[in-house]
Amino acid sequence: MSRARVARRIAAGAAYGGGGIGLLGVAGVGVLLAEVALAKKSVGGGVAPLPPGVDGRYGRGYGPGEPLRLALLGDSTAAGQGVRRAGQTPGALLASGLAAVAERPVDLRNVALSGARSDDLERQVSLLLSAAAGPPDVCVIMIGANDVTHRMPATQSVRCMAAAVRRLRTAGAEVVVGTCPDLGTIEPVYQPLRWLARRASRQLAAAQTIVVVEQGGRTVSLGDLLGPEFAANPREMFGVDNFHPSAEGYATAAMALLPTVCAALGVWPEPDRIDVARHENLLPVAKAAAEAAREAGTEVTGARAPWALLKHRRRRRLPEPAPLDAGAGAAGDGGRTGPGHGTRPASEGAALPQDG
């Protein structure tokens, strides 16, 4: 069965209440459990620091105008576990980058929870929508790895994702989902666990893409956490516990997500047209989802049903977030970035590779 058909089958099972389609299949479970016992002795050899507090206003130097509201939901990857400074988390990097592109302040709220699976999204969405400030302008969701490692049925996982995106879109928020990362890149994980983990991750990522696009959101494939850097330089791209991304890994992920976040808000300086030279295409949504799952950094956004636009947006340098002020955090005015507040202009930002 093709990857597109598997992804469509999982998404259909979620829509119609099916619950028996697993991520790995019965045949692989026995081997998987044996390999997991070995992997646990190596993965997590260090202790990842707890995620730093990142909530606050970014880009204050752009003036006192009405800020954009950005929210992050998901698991430890969205929370930023594995790094010690707020400015190294994906939330802070995305907020600073969005402020620089839009030339407006950005209020960030992160409700992601380390260890969360997709069934926690309902709680996280409720936290956001109950806030007095109203729904965010754009929400970024990064979740799925724990669904795979805890063998949550794929249909249940994507059903939870679809419900979360639907609630956020109904409330008026744009939604960008960084789909399930490729757990086959975790070092050291040996065969056949590596193959099984990669297969399960890609199946879930493709199914997530289908339901997100059908609910009016956009996805970006995190794949091997966005680029060959992870496969080529795992010591640099993973954190001290060999599982969570390092600062360089989070920067790579944020750099790939930022163009889609900005495009969802209409502030990205590129039209939503097909660039054949960049291998972009208009495909049936299931086929687009399968293609995106294979190539990290690929965006999928809805077109006229049942079609979806497959894009490879140019990545640009990210501004470097300023350190949080003393005492700042979830209740403070942390992340004072932008001109005059400790952040270099985008043209002088962190030296990250550009795509295209």
- What are the catalytic residues? 76, 241, 244
Answer positive or negative: Cα dihedral of 109, 120, 215, 81: positive
Burial class (CB in 10 A: 0-12, 13-18, 19+), 231: middle
CA nearest to 91, candidates 74, 71, 105 = 71
The four Cα atoms 239, 241, 245, 249 give a dihedral, to 10 degrees, of: 30
Question: Within 10 Å of residue 133's Cβ, how many Cβ atoms?
Answer: 10
Structure tokens at 164: 């979360």
Q: Is the C-alpha dihedral spanning 232, 85, 259, 296 positive or negative? A: positive
Angle (CA) 56 108 237, round 5°: 105
Phi and psi at residue 344, to the nearest 5°? -75, 150
CA distance 189 to 273: 40
Residue pair 20/155 in contact by the 8 Å Cβ criterion: yes
Phi, psi of 195 (to 5 degrees): -65, -45
**Of the candidates 107, 97, 243, 259, which has an alpha carbon nearest to the alpha carbon of residue 181?**
243
